[in-house]
């Protein structure tokens, strides 16, 4: 079974025009679905290496902007009711109105809220579209690159392209960096959020 897995992974990795388009569209659609993106980013990194990162970034940003606009213009009433039921999100939304791009940056770097929920919530705030789009694009880069790197390192370790020890050390370092960023972002969010 391991040999079959290795053979399957070896066949992946060629990022053609059609696979790049499919990857971009997948992550654009993920901007609407309230599920963690992390396993999918790691899988894309394992399948296509770090070359997947810019495609995920662009597709994810386009999907985030579309969900933001949906929340703001087409389904605002429905999402306002949803926000009222989720007290923590309501507090974050009020913080965005006070702090603007800084809270968006923290949420993109490692916030405690899934990406799609963040998109919908931010559509209900007073932040303008350009600020939202730029902050989303720029501050999504670290997580996407780290998770793609994690997947790519795992693939290299599996295929034997690098020494297993080097792959494990690289993976451990990536996990530690991600954990530290997430921990720091959460503590910064706690400090900057108004009390309910």
Q: What is the pLDDT of residues 49-86, one digit of tens each?
A: 889 999 999 999 999 999 999 988 887 777 777 777 76
pLDDT exceeds cutoff 60 at 1: no
Residue 130: the pLDDT is 94
168 vs 95, more confident:
95
Residue 177: the pLDDT is 66
Structure confidence by residue, pLDDT tens digits, 101-157: 888 888 887 766 788 888 988 888 889 999 999 999 999 998 898 889 888 887 776
Contact status, residue 139 vs residue 118, Cβ threshold 8 Å: no
Confidence of residue 6 (pLDDT cuts 50, 70, 90): very low
Distances (CA, A) of 140 to 76, 77, 126, 160, 195: 25, 28, 21, 30, 26
Q: What is the mean pLDDT of the chain?
A: 78
Q: How far is C-alpha 46 from the chain's CA centre?
A: 16
Confidence of residue 183 (pLDDT cuts 50, 70, 90): low
Residue 131: the pLDDT is 93
Instruction: Give the count of domains, the chain.
Output: 1
Residue 96 structure tokens: 């965005």
Residue 100: the pLDDT is 80
CB under 8 Å to 3, separation ≥6 — which residues?
A: none
**Domain boundaries, position 14:** 2-192
Contact status, residue 116 vs residue 32, Cβ threshold 8 Å: yes
Residue 192: the pLDDT is 59
**125/80 Cα distance (integer angstroms):** 10
């Amino acid at each position: 079974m391991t040999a079959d897995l290795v053979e399957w992974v070896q066949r992946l990795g060629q990022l053609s025009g059609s696979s790049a388009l499919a990857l971009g569209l997948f992550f654009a659609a993920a901007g609407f679905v309230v599920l963690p993106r992390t396993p999918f980013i790691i899988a894309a990194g394992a399948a296509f290496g770090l070359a997947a990162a810019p495609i995920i970034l662009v597709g994810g940003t386009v999907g985030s902007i579309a969900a933001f606009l949906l929340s703001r213009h087409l389904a605002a009433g429905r999402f306002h009711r949803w926000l009222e039921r989720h007290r923590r999100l309501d507090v974050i939304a009020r913080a965005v109105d006070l702090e603007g791009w800084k809270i968006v940056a923290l949420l993109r770097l490692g916030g405690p809220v899934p990406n799609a929920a963040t998109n919908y919530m931010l559509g209900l705030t007073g932040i303008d579209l350009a600020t939202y789009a730029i902050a989303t694009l720029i501050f999504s880069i670290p997580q996407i690159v780290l998770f793609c790197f994690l997947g790519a390192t795992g693939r290299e370790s599996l295929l034997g392209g690098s020494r297993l020890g080097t792959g494990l050390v690289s993976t451990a370092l990536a996990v530690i960096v991600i954990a530290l960023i997430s921990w720091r972002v959460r503590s910064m969010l706690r400090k900057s959020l108004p009390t309910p």
